[in-house]
Structures are given as structure tokens and as C-alpha cells.
Amino acid sequence: EHRLSALLVLVERYRRAKKNHGLKKQIADFYLSNTRSINNWDLVDLSAPKIIGNYVYETGDYELLYRLSRSSGLWEQRIAIVATYTLLCNGITEPTISISQSYLTHKHDLIHKATGWMLREMGKRTDESLLTKFLDAHTRNMPRTMLRYAIEKLSPELRQYYLHLPR
């Protein structure tokens, strides 16, 4: 698959750019100008955290993620939430929480899966209480797929608690 190969080369070029912020910006801009071709889950999931996630972490430009999350394009929306993985790995949770809240009423299953995945990672990588606080506030309104992904690593008792809350 040519697109996957090209994205993996781009990921590697971004990684090797080290402190060359100008080159990193060029790569991020190129990536963003070609999102129409980054149009399936594996392409997004293998590239967004390593390019857009790292770029946002390094620049502090969280608005880029929020802008992508408000896009009319499904894949740009998925890029926004999946890119927060890099932030979570560095202890930054606000963009994940904010974008997840905005996706509670999203209609597409691929967004539900990605959002639940990032919520689960937030609970694993930062503080489980942040996840349970989010779940306490939103479980009744969450799409079932998002909830199931989010609770996957919780204790069996907590999983059952959230699964059986009245909807």
C-alpha cells in the first residue's frame, strides 16, 4: 500500500528531524494538506500520534487538534483524537477530555472506537481517577462502543458498574 509506505517514511523523517523545528513544521503542514488521502483507520492510527501528536506536544498548539476535531471530515476528526495519544504519554489530558466530550454525540463508530481507546489510555497512562471522573459524568450519554473501549482495562467490578448504569 503506497500511502502507508509514504506515511511511514514521513513519520521517520519527522523523528529524524530532531530539533529542526522548521522541517518538523513542513512535515506537519504537508501531512495536514494531504488528509484527504489519509482516509482509513490504520493510516491515521500509525501516523497521527507520531506526526501531529508530536508536533502539537512540541509547539503547544492544541488549537490545531480542536480545529481538526471540528472538521466535517471523519478522518481529520479521528486524527484529532488519536493524536492526543502523544500528549497522554506526556501527562497532558485536557485535549483528550475536551475532544472526547465533543464526540459524545458523534454518529460514527470509528470515532467511538478511537475516543474510547484514548480515554482508556488516559486512565492507564495518567490517573485512573481522571477516567472514572469522565465516566461518572458521561457514561449515560456515551455510545456503547466508546464506553466498552474506555473501560477495557478497569477492574472487573468497575467495568460491570459502568456497563450496568441506567441509560
Over the range 10-34, which residues count as b (16 or more CB within 10 Å of their CB) and which as e? bbeebeebeeeeeebeebbeebbee
Full residue range of the structural domain in which residue 86 is found: 2-163
Q: What is the pLDDT of residues 73-115, one digit of tens each?
A: 999 999 999 999 999 999 999 999 999 999 999 999 999 999 9
Report residue 139's pLDDT band, with 50, 70 and 90 as the boundaries: very high
pLDDT of residue 13: 98
Report residue 136's pLDDT band, with 50, 70 and 90 as the boundaries: very high
Say how many domains are in the chain: 1
pLDDT of residue 98: 98
CATH of the domain at 34: 1.25.10.90
In this predicted structure, the answer to whether residue 167 has a pLDDT above a threshold of 90 is no
In this predicted structure, the answer to whether residue 1 has a pLDDT above a threshold of 90 is no
Put simply, whether the predicted model's pTM sits higher than 0.85 gets the answer yes
- The three cell numbers of residue 150 are 474506555
In this predicted structure, the answer to whether residue 120 has a pLDDT above a threshold of 90 is yes
Q: What is the pLDDT of residues 19-72, one digit of tens each?
A: 999 999 999 999 999 999 999 999 999 999 999 999 999 999 999 999 999 999
Q: What is the pLDDT of residues 9-18, one digit of tens each?
A: 999 999 999 9
In this predicted structure, the answer to whether residue 166 has a pLDDT above a threshold of 90 is no
